[in-house]
Chain A
């Protein structure tokens, strides 16, 4: 309530004051909570219409039955039981869905750790070493370069670089470091992680940078004056204050990588399983309920990860 009233006062001081003081003069009075609803309303409606309702449909459809050409609106757990097929029977081996999620989580963790590391230092450089605002803007725009080309072109462009007869391999062979071309450079987990990091580091840089520029410079000076080393300042001042940015960036990266199947597909030579890929295969075979069930599972797992992360940092408090 505190925050909403402060926001309200900033937004429309007249209205808020009106409701308190000039009670008798105004015939129509709007209570502050009503105004809050009014302000939040449009966004809520959009959220409801384009997110919650479609999501509810996905959940409902995931419990339907289907045949080759239509959905059968009768309750059926088939989408789920098919998905977890063999998970108990095949123990101790992992079933398809288990293997798929293990692989997805592994890729997700690697990409997250690397983008966080790179993103943090890029943001650090931008926030503390680049003094001019213009340069800060210009350099952060540079980070968007990977998005200037379409996904397909970008993927195709990796082949001449990392391929069997690509630049990297021919370079290494000329220097005599290797005799045979290195095969794992392309269509491997390595290339998937490389492409995802290349794409999504930007999503780490922006929120972390945003948190860092808001750190009061006098705090860093105070730490310096109190005799803290650079490392101590980093660990005890900068990282704690940049936490919201780190968490937001992590949420971006994790949610995108968990659902990705295009990059994993193309860079993994379509041979690496991904949670999103299962959904796509099911959709293409017109098995909508099975696809919906997989989407619900993916959503639940992603949600779980996000919940754990927001346990570590209360974003709402920090913002």
Chain B
């Protein structure tokens, strides 16, 4: 036990100096994690902290079957995942989080970079992550926290992102997607081709954006740029003046009654769209699919300014070592081996290792989801429910077309503190 306590002490120092309350929590949970090493010698258990995106029951069941590793999901919102990593680093083993939160998580020293050499499929990971281009060679927009900027660390315990490839990987890529506006074509009744339509007075009281400040402001920036008002050097890292300008445009729109509501949660976005409260809003791909599966027309509209993209991956808590670390590698390797990738692809996300996922999908599924071809047969969700009828084509087309048109990535700005204050001002306006 002394050894465990000692370990907690280190992470406590590096984490939140002097925060007795929080450190107390960390120490408390540290005392708990001390035991499973002994207890779980027979059953391999990993506590998996992440958002609901990757956390399918099917995935954990299949994983248990294939590897004998029991996954215990700890589900939280993106913000709460980060909060938990900072304040209770011993309360989880495997972390599934987005690349943009690395700017907060890595300097805290609470996560352990994984060794690329121990990841079997690492060389097969899509060049989207490693080179910033699609497999077909299209250059991808790098504004914001693009994954290739924060993929590697300089050394094992380094807190600095390396500019070139090293073997120390911050997050092993798992899933990503390109986000855009969702629209109700049946209510809009005309083609939509630009982000600027979000603030078009035609949709007064029927528009919505995401109420997560760091992501919402990027959607706002896409709109501002589309209207031709301003061109950002980096939408994901604005200066104070740029933040002021962006929020001014949004505040005017809000005061004019442009927005019906802001949403924060997957189901909220589905409800707003399905009930017709909004006809145009920022959205996530599976939410669009869900609205459509309710029999309501909804398009994940490709726009000429491009997509805002996001990506997430795996790392482990600093406190993980010994056999548990081996299981973590085993789990990550399993995750990239195909089953999970195919599962995610079938939901409209993209898997990091395309080749293994392809092997687990039917050719007609692959053609629909990844190649942008009309569906030969009905397209079904992982749970077997009907998503699309035969003959339909995926919005935005193929993987190459969609990922190739990414303009920026979810980000944490240097001026994050200022931005959050301005966001509160925007809500109060």
Interface residue ranges, A against B (CB under 8 Å): 54, 57, 61, 68-73, 82, 85, 96, 99-100, 103, 152, 156, 159-160, 163-166, 183, 186-187, 265-266, 268-273, 277-278, 281-287, 290
Contact A271 B427 (CB under 8 A): yes
Binary CB contact string for chain B from 78 to 108 against chain A (1 if under 8 A, 0 otherwise): 0110110010000000000000000111011
Query: Would A96 and B277 be within 8 Å (CB), given that A269-B261, A269-B262 are in contact?
Result: no
Could you list some 21 contacts between A and B, CB below 8 A?
A: A69-B104, A69-B107, A70-B16, A71-B17, A82-B417, A100-B424, A100-B428, A156-B271, A159-B271, A159-B275, A160-B275, A164-B275, A166-B275, A266-B268, A270-B211, A270-B427, A271-B427, A284-B212, A285-B416, A285-B417, A286-B83
Report yes or no: A271 in contact with B271, Cβ–Cβ below 8 A: no
B267 touches A156 (CB 8 A): yes
Q: Which of B18-26, B61-69, B124-132, B318-326 sits within the interface? A: B18-26
Q: State whether A85 touches B421 (Cβ < 8 A).
A: yes
> B148 on the interface (CB 8 Å rule)?
no
Smallest beta-carbon distance A262→chain B, Å: 11
B425 within 8 A of A: yes
Kindly name the residue among A100, A270, A282 whose own CB sees the greatest number of chain B CB atoms within 10 A.
A270
B427 CB contacts on chain A under 8 angstroms: 270-273, 277, 281
Asked if B271 contacts A186 (CB within 8 A), the reply is no
Q: Report B-chain residues with C-beta under 8 Å of the C-beta of A68.
A: 103-104, 107, 412, 416-417
Closest chain A residue to B108 by CB distance? A69
The reply to whether the CB of B377 lies closer than 8 angstroms to some CB of chain A is no
A187 — which chain B residues lie within 8 A by C-beta?
260-261, 277
Task: Tell me how far the C-beta of B267 lies from the nearest C-beta in chain A, rounded to whole angstroms.
Answer: 7
Contacting residues, chain A, for B267 (C-beta < 8 A): 152, 156
Interface residues of chain B: helix, strand, loop or mixed (majority): helix
CA distance A224 to B260 in the complex (A): 55
- A284–B19 CB distance below 8 A: no
CB distance B424 to A273 under 8 Å?
Answer: yes
Q: How large is the interface on B (under 10, 10 to 19, 20 to 34, 35 or more residues)?
A: 35 or more
A152 to B266, CA, bound (A): 12
User: Bound state CA distance, A281 and B21, in angstroms?
Assistant: 21
- Chain A residues within an 8 Å CB radius of B205: 183
Q: Is B21's CB under 8 angstroms from A99's CB?
A: no
Which residues of chain A have C-beta atoms less than 8 A from B79's C-beta? 284-285
B211: which A residues are within 8 A, CB to CB?
270
Residue with the greatest number of chain A CB neighbours at <10 A, chosen from B107, B211, B213, B261: B261
B263 touches A163 (CB 8 A): no
Q: A73 contacts which chain B residues (CB < 8 A)?
A: 17-19
User: Taking A69-B86, A156-B271, A285-B416 as contacts, is the C-beta distance between A271 and B20 under 8 angstroms?
Assistant: no
B231 to chain A, nearest CB (A): 27
Shortest C-beta distance, B85 to chain A (Å), equals: 10
Q: Are B420 and A287 in contact (CB under 8 A)?
A: yes
